[in-house]
Structure 1
Amino acid sequence: MGTDRIARARWIALIVPAALIAGAYGFQYIGHLYPCEMCWWQRYPQFAAIVFALAAFVVPARASRLLIVCAALAIFLSGAIGVFHAGVEYHWWQGFTECTSTMAGHGGSVDDMLARIMKAPVVRCDVPQWTLFGISLAGFNALVSIPAALVILALLPKGKR
């Protein structure tokens, strides 16, 4: 029973962040919704969770549990950042930044760089680019990540093995 629960936890720890990152990149490259700085902050722990979860598939069982816990904590952290970001978007509290910009390409003349800066989309952290039922992408990240992390942790057997 315990091995089955660990296997489920390991798969959830891999599938959830992979799906969320795939969705984020889908919205970015297909939907042309460029990430703000706080969107990137949510992605970094998901990247870490994917690495932890993948590593949990190749290490011995004893180490696997620790890696799954690390993945769950990273997923939870991403969700917590999503709560903070959603609060900034809904103007419940002030964020650390008000806008960021992505600038494709590097180098070239000063005029080339200035032209790229002027063409780059300005993405504000305090304005959601997309919502569904009043919930932003940051809100959806929180609604998926936090419960998923708790489910992963609940699936793991208690105590030392």
Structure 2
Amino acid sequence: MRDWSLAFIAALGSALMLAGALFFQYVIGLAPCELCIWQRWPHVVAFAIGLITFFFPQPGVMALGAMTMLVSAGLGIYHTGVERAWWQGPTTCSGTGDISSMNAEDLLNHIMAAPVVRCTDVAWEMFGLSMASWNAIISLALAAIWVVALRRS
């Protein structure tokens, strides 16, 4: 395979991950939480890097592709930990935070500003793994493809 072909396969994997996320959101009707949205951005960047690599198959560009997938895997692991209550997630989407000092008006504003989907809720799972867990696993596999492309360049 040529230098760019493996990078293109990795970028295509990111595009498929994005398509899957959008399918679950718009066809199945599973609204994403804030962390779910965060996990999409590295795939957008990796897809763009894959397109750049098609025209400029440089090692540095391929290394960026691998790093973006490692960021995606890290976000997936973080989100999985939030879902499984291993650690606390962002207060903006986990339903946590200190409300004891709020007056009634501030409390109502806090409730009304809260996202509909909490990051602690698992909307879908397969084989006991949530979408966040699958994102982490697949992102690690895509990072490995980027690394192989980098080593072959």
* Bucket of the pairwise TM-score, normalised by the shorter protein: 0.7 to 0.9
- Partner residue, 1:107: none
Name stretches of at least 5 consecutive residues in structure 1 with no aligned partner.
101-117
Moved over 3 A (4+): none
| Deviation string, structure 1 residues 95-148 (Cα, Å, up to 9, x no partner) | 113538xxxxxxxxxxxxxxxxx8x97101011111111111000000100122
Residues 12 and 76 (structure 1 numbering): CA distance in 2 closer, same or farther, change over 3 Å? Answer: farther
| Deviation string, structure 1 residues 22-64 (Cα, Å, up to 9, x no partner) | 00000000011111110111111111111111111122x4xx3
- Partner residue, 2:118: 124
Of residues 23, 32, 41 in structure 2, which corresponds to 1:35? 32
Q: CA separation in 2, counterparts of 1:16 and 1:56?
A: 15
Q: Are 1:45 and 2:42 counterparts?
A: yes
Q: CA separation in 2, counterparts of 1:27 and 1:66?
A: 33
Q: Does the aligned pair in 1 maintain the 2:10–2:145 contact within 8 Å?
A: no
Structure having the higher helix fraction is 2
- Partner residue, 2:84: 90
What is the percentage of aligned positions where both structures have the same residue?
Answer: 39
Letter in 1 for 2:21: A
Q: CA separation in 1, counterparts of 2:84 and 2:6?
A: 33
Q: Are 1:21 and 2:18 counterparts?
A: yes
Q: CA separation in 1, counterparts of 2:91 and 2:18?
A: 23
Q: Are 1:56 and 2:53 counterparts?
A: yes
Of residues 59, 64, 68 in structure 2, which corresponds to 1:65? 59
Q: CA separation in 2, counterparts of 1:5 and 1:148?
A: 17
Q: How many pairs does the alignment contain?
A: 136
Name stretches of at least 5 consecutive residues in structure 2 with no aligned partner.
95-111
- Partner residue, 1:9: 6
- Partner residue, 1:78: 72
**TM-score (structure 2 length as normaliser):** 0.79
